[in-house]
Structure 1
Amino acid sequence: MATQEVVTGPGVGTGTGVRPAPKPTLGNGPFGWLEQLAGMIMLTGQTIVSMFTPPYSWGPEFIEQSWLVVKRAFIPCMFCTAVFSWGAPGITGGSIIATLATTDRLGSFAIMASIRELATWINGMVVAGVAGTAICSDLGARKIRDELDALAVLGTDLIKSLIVPRFLALGLMTVVFNYWNTLISIVGQMVANMTVWKETAAGFVATFGSNFTIAEIVFNGLKVLTFGFIIAIVCCYKGMNAKGGSAGVGRAVNQAVVVAFSLIYVYNYLLNSLLLGAFPETATLR
């Protein structure tokens, strides 16, 4: 005759088959975001260490993930940048400059609007919303199917084989997209200024060149590189910690997008403050 297992210890109720009550954790309370933030920071450190530790077996997966980012994000980035550059800094921003009767400074305005803000922001938003969600859903599906646990049992280094290639792919391709997006943004704004505000191409280029600095382009590249790394860590962390079946994967993807957007906003503000503080000349339109 089979005997029933009696579990001792504090639990809910009494009698046979009672399991111990789960211990409360920070993640179950109102400050669960602190535990998740700490987990993302730890994952970042582990990824960086694993990235520089041989063997470097992540090459093929890195190429595959880079191509995934290109397929999913290239056209949306290009379309969104062209539309926003025409409407936001081109027409709306131009109307503000025209109100001040300084349409001859539209080229210098493009430095702040396109290089410093618009191109980088759209790049981060599109990559997070298209490529980041694809990565998060892929890892989340593997998690709920216990594929990640099976790989870990087989001795596979999940950080090196899964996180490092996605981390590098999102960081690199975000930078590549950024320079293409920046060019589209500048051209779109110039066309809007020429057709709507009757600014000449020569005047736009002249004022653009007088305000262009190396600091702007350096901070531009640094910003989007970090955007890619932030998106990669957030989406990989949420995907690898998904739970609750397919609905849990959907929640993880939604949370990943929200967290990535929020961190990008905060980081963008901090880096712009650093740029303006270190190079005060970038705060004026010359």
Structure 2
Amino acid sequence: MTVEVVSKKKGLIADAVNEIGALVTFAAQTFLTGLAAILRGRFPLAEFVGQSVFLVRVCFWPSLLLMLPIGVVIAVMMGGLAGRIGAAQYSGAVVAFVIIGQAAALVTALIAAGVGGAAIVSDLGARTIREEIDAMQVMSVDVVERVVVPRVFALVFVALSMCAIVSFSGILFTYAYQVVGVGESQGGFLLTLQAYGRTTDFVMAMFKSFCFGVACSVIAAFKGTQTRGGSAGVANSVNESVVMMFIAVFVINVVLTQMYIVVVPAVGEYI
């Protein structure tokens, strides 16, 4: 069964606390149900694969098309600045810091929230207002296990996969601009990328993508199953969920970035 939000319009703060509590409870219920389904051999693998294929299809090209201008803009701005101060050979370090450490995970999260998350909300919201969710509960079907879990796990899996792809694409786009377009030294780019690009940066980007995927998928599934008010309610749920997902992404990114800076020391000295 799903978590119901009980609110009697007691006020802005009370309603917000009530909904946040229901969201946390829904998240815990979803992952415990998913873990139990895996251990019991009841995980809906076919639905998971179908949702993963759908999310890859709708998220892949937008992610690459968004990463292309970001990579080029970073190369143009930082490359020009580095050239003025005589440090053009550090363009690879800029790629390591900005694209691998920040841009790739954020691009993946924004596309996952704005495209994949919105698709999940609209799908579950339409099922809810058509009373399909209620019908499944009447037939004693575990809605969380059969409907919510595969979508949540699929979005997390796609977020991790897309982060790796977008990281590689961002490096490739920037390399092509710096080396082929501008005429920078290929060896200098690769040497600084190797020297300043740490495995921990990529691992942190993947961990960020995992956290982004969890937050966005849970919010999307929660808002979809809580949809009320017909087709207008579906539209409102999509709008509310996208805003909530974007806020969650930026808050998580700030927290994890600051923790990473404290825990992992910087590489090298810049002169």
TM over 0.5: yes
Partner residue of 1:45? 28
Question: In the alignment, is residue 67 of structure 1 matched against residue 46 of structure 2?
Answer: no
Q: Is the 8 A contact 2:97 2:197 kept in 1?
A: no
CA contact (8 A) 1:140 1:249 kept: yes
Deviations 1:87-107 (A, max 9, x none): 2x1112323333433211111
Q: How many residues align?
A: 262
Aligned counterparts of 1:282 and 1:143: Cα–Cα separation in 2: 51
The yes-or-no answer on 1:29 pairing with 2:11 is: yes
Give the equivalent residue in structure 2 for 1:90: 75
TM-score (norm 2): 0.91
Q: Tell me by how many angstroms 1:196 deviates.
A: 5.7
Residue of structure 2 equivalent to 1:151 = 136
Deviations 1:173-226 (A, max 9, x none): 111111111011011112222356542111100001001222112111111111
Mapped partners of 1:157, 1:55: distance in 2: 15
Q: Is the counterpart of residue 200 in structure 1 residue 182 in structure 2?
A: no
The structure where helix makes up a greater share of residues is: 2
Amino acid at match of 1:140: G
Matches of 1:27 and 1:251, distance apart in 2: 18
1:80 alignment counterpart:
66
- TM-score, with structure 1 as normaliser: 0.86
Say whether residues 1:177 and 2:177 are aligned partners.
Answer: no
Answering whether residue 222 of structure 2 is matched by residue 222 of structure 1, we say no
Structure 1 residue ranges (4+ consecutive) displaced by more than 4 angstroms after TM superposition: 282-286
What residue ranges of structure 1 are gaps of 5+ in the alignment?
1-23
User: Identity of aligned pairs, percent?
Assistant: 24
| Structure with larger Rg | 1
Aligned-pair Cα RMSD in Å: 1.9
Could you tell me which residue of structure 2 aligns to residue 132 of structure 1? 117
- Matched residue of 1:280: which SS? coil
Distance 2:42 2:68 in 1: 38
Aligned to 1:281, the other structure's residue is in SS state: coil
Structure 2 residue 134 is the aligned partner of structure 1 residue 141? no
Does the 8 Å CA contact 1:276/1:283 hold for their aligned counterparts? no
